[in-house]
Chain A
Amino acid sequence: MDYSTFSIPQIRQLLLDKKATAVEITKFFIEKIKLIDPKIKAFITITEKEALEKAAEIDKKITNNETIGKLAGSIMAVKDIFLTKDIETTASSQLLKGYIPQYSSTVCQKLLDQDAIIIGKTNTDPFAFGGSTENSGFFTTKNPWNLDMIPGGSSGGSAAAVSANLCHFALGTDTGGSIRQPASLCGVSGLKPTYGLNSRFGITAMASSFDCPGVFARSVDDIATVTQITAGHDKKDATSTHQTIPDYSSLLDSVNLKGLKIGLPKEYFTDAINPEVKAKVLEAAKVLESQGTILKEVSLPSTNLGLAVYYILVPSEISANMSRYEGIRFGQTVPDSSNIISYYMNIRGQFMEPEVKRRIIIGTYALSSGYYDAYYTKAAKVRTLIKQEFEKVLADVDVILAPVSPTTAWKIGEKCSNPLEMYLADAYTVCINVAGVPSLALPCGFNSNNLPIGFQLIGNFFEESKIMSIGHQYQQITDYHLQISKI
């Protein structure tokens, strides 16, 4: 039986009805990964042993008539920047090769506690710095829809794994688009929640005030199920929310599309966007309009400043967050150095990937005495402005609909020589992180080369329930999210 086509609740039901065992399901996925992953290289580590152990544990619970977790039997892939106890966690950087964490990230632990099965750790740009997985210290993941193309990034491995049906859901993080953009380029769904909805504890930090852990799945339905488990306050993360978490799954049909106001920000539909992408995103808007929603043009005038703000504040935070990687307490070591400074330089010089160094240098520069006010302080002010613009528009319309990526997936290597061009690909996603609001990326069709296209529904703070309900209803009348590449 092809267990990859079942939803998370269906898998659990299969176990309860004794139509399948968790071990059978796990073995099915391991076989599939062994067959397909060599082509797309979504995984850095395949945790066959741990997965089978967990599966046996679940099966035992069923045999003993014990209660099983809400995600029992579901196969999850985890971006390799989430720490997993006793499982190598590399952050796709040579710097952490061989690092075995002594604790698990809160999000992972919560999912494991609900009997999800970790099948492996997925590739990303190192420490999530990038948008294509090409910066990975190990290899580039390929887009399941076209193996010559990038899968997007940074959570490209997770997006590709879901896209190729190598798991039921996958974890990613979105600091500037790193869930939504690969979801779009790989034709799957992905949620970047409100900043603080999911705990960041145990995830290697990129930019602490931007990082949002989130989930990829085929359907919004499954995203709701997983987010239900991950969301909520974590006493180990001071920035995590104290909000009460609604019952997302039961609210999936709750939003009445009739009369619902959807804003289309004009700054997101300019000529800078690929015409095919623009057409498909507008088509998605039309589909929702056909259900009675009201489309309205809105304006987010500071959009063009988003990238500048993002590429000052994010590297600034990165420059400090990367300081702990100096080879003393964990990670790679080098033989004797003459003194501590040369040791630091050897470790960091030898094992940090170029993009990691680039961002540390940019951030260090922006925070330096004499430049701080001109860069960091000013960017922080514009950040407030951008946030206020979102709040203002979202007071007028219920949600905002926009493209995710200005283009479809590009050829591997195409933008590698030009980091700036790579940064520009984030133009439609970063502002959402600058503001901190939630956004749900959904597939809405293909271009003429059969590459997936996605759009995003942006809600107000902690309105995940609303955007998921709209997304879910959209997926009831479309089938883009069910399309699978012929790999």
Chain B
Amino acid sequence: MKITPIIGLEVHVELKTKSKMFCGCKAEHFHVDPNTQTCPVCLGLPGALPVPNRTACEWCIKLGIALGCTPNLTSFFERKNYFYPDLAKGYQLTQFEKPFVVNGKLVIDGQEIRINRAHMEEDTGKSVHITNNGQDLTLIDYNRSGVPLVEIVSEPDITSAEMAKKYLLKIQQIIRYLGISDADIEKGSMRCEPTINLKIEDNGQEFFTPLAEIKNVASLTGVQTAIDFELNRQLEEFKQTGEGKSKTNKTTRGWDADKNQTFLQREKEGSSDYRYFPEPDIPHIAFTAAQIDTIKSTIPELPDEKIIRYQKDFGLNDYDANLITQDINFAASFEKAIGQKPSIEMAKFIANLFIGSLKTYLNESQEELDIYKINPEYFKNLFDSVSKSEISSTVAKQVIIESYTTGIDPVEIAKSKGLIQVSDSGEIEKFAKEVITNNPKAVEDYKKNSMSIGFLIGQLMKASKGSANPKMAKEILEKIL
């Protein structure tokens, strides 16, 4: 029996524009007092009309292009009709027939995942269920109503939960590179709804299990666990019932993060009838090819391109290039630090400082890297000193953090702390003689076994407070002994 998971993802991303999609209310709504950012438009009051947010439309196109999509030069909004208390107008403005961008793709681990479309829509309000004096109540917060939302719809090309997670991470990374959303799954500014079924091949026969759409997945690990759970569940169910996919047996399942399982939310009788039709309150939106080019020109170099360039121009390995480009600010800071046309040696050296030192520091202190604190001159000085063996690479990793936090030249820090390597043979000889005098037993040991010189070198380094060039220390000790 051969089993192939078929997974498609619908990803919703809240854009961090200043104002909402169709009115002037503030879009940022996380931890804001309920119903304090509303107006007749996003409350769906009589007579209120939507006016589209130009920036949001442009960002949707920008994201689409970054995902390899083709823009539709003319596009329009449509009304998706359904009743729900948090849907103020009784319809959601979205795009159905003519989304802003179509037909993109992302490559994950060498496998192409096609993107059907990215379209612009508005978020709904939020229903909050509470119990007050023993009474179950549903309260509605309309702060989120009308927040710009881009929906990215993939084709069912994803074949494992891990790939789904990587696909999400990639989208998240691109969105953050574009600076159009926090894309934070935990905060709800990025949401993901996987649709899943299995292709089962057995004895030359092919079966497809019924489709299930999973809702309320609120974390990245949740996405992976939920998909894995559902894949197993479908397989077990198929083994028991043998039921295959039909036009009417698609179900919606919720994800219970506490119990780590999906549960049946509703069985669908075919697809719901949303009665889409063109939104008459908003004229068609047209972009010229020149306007699309302008939008395109605001897209920064994306991570995949950066990784290739770092490998080619700076000789970084794939792993390091990936680490540095994970976050655009980190990558930009790295590029600032290495300056124009750095040597491969220097670029690699600085990459090591970024990965081995700065990143650890930032992780521990939970800080964001501040690009303004990056001084390329300092990095160059440090590189030169290490090249000349004035500073050891261990010291370099220490002082770069202090330099970053204080703004002082790392070489100066090393000097003031006496961390400059002594490469003056006379100096080292003085330490060597001192060590030999003070450690007669170790000297005896050395004479029996030349491999035990390590201890004496250690003592010499200690005596020099770590400033002696260890290579020279060894040579001089050997010479004297």
Contacts and interface: CB of A to CB of B under 8 A. Distances in A.
27 contacts: A89-B46, A102-B40, A105-B47, A203-B47, A208-B280, A209-B280, A236-B49, A237-B51, A237-B281, A238-B50, A238-B52, A238-B283, A239-B282, A319-B81, A322-B90, A323-B91, A324-B88, A324-B89, A324-B90, A326-B90, A329-B45, A329-B88, A330-B45, A340-B85, A364-B275, A367-B277, A372-B275
Size category of the B interface is: 20 to 34
A154 interface: no
Contacts of B138: 340
B277 A372 contact: yes
A155 interface: no
B3 interface: no
Contact of B44 (A235, A324, A364): A324
A413 to B, nearest CB: 29
B48 interface: yes
B46 A320 contact: no
B277 A320 contact: yes
A344 B89 CA distance: 14
Nearest to B50: A238
A117 interface: no
A18 to B, nearest CB: 38
Interface in B16-68: 40, 43-52
A25 to B, nearest CB: 29
A37 interface: no
B91 A204 contact: no
Contacts of A372: 275, 277
Given A324-B90, A367-B277, 7 more contacts: A102-B40, A200-B47, A237-B281, A324-B45, A328-B140, A330-B46, A367-B276
Interface of A: 82-83, 89, 91, 96, 99, 101-103, 105, 200-205, 207-209, 235-239, 316-317, 319-320, 322-326, 328-330, 340-341, 344, 364, 367-369, 372, 376
Interface string B282-326: 110000000000000000000000000000000000000000000
Nearest to B142: A329
Contact of B275 (A200, A201, A203, A368): A368
Interface in B240-286: 273, 275-277, 280-283
Contacts of A316: 277
A236 B277 contact: no
B85 A320 contact: no
A369 B275 contact: yes
Contacts of A322: 90
Contacts of A341: 83
A372 B81 CA distance: 14
Nearest to A376: B277
B188 to A, nearest CB: 23
Contacts of A376: 277
Contacts of B276: 367
Instruction: Pick the most buried of B43, B47, B81: most chain A CB atoms within 10 A of its CB.
Output: B47
Contacts of B51: 235-238
Contacts of B44: 324, 329
A329 B81 contact: no
Nearest to A369: B273
Nearest to B22: A238
A44 B91 CA distance: 31
Interface in B83-98: 83, 85, 88-91
B79 interface: yes
Contacts of A200: 47, 49
A101 B52 contact: no
A99 B47 CA distance: 13
**Which 7 A-B pairs rank lowest in CB-CB distance, beginning with the nearest?**
A323-B90, A209-B280, A208-B280, A367-B275, A202-B47, A324-B44, A204-B46
Output the residue of B44, B275, B276 with the most chain A CB within 10 A: B275
A237 B46 contact: no
Contacts of B140: 328
Contacts of A204: 46-47
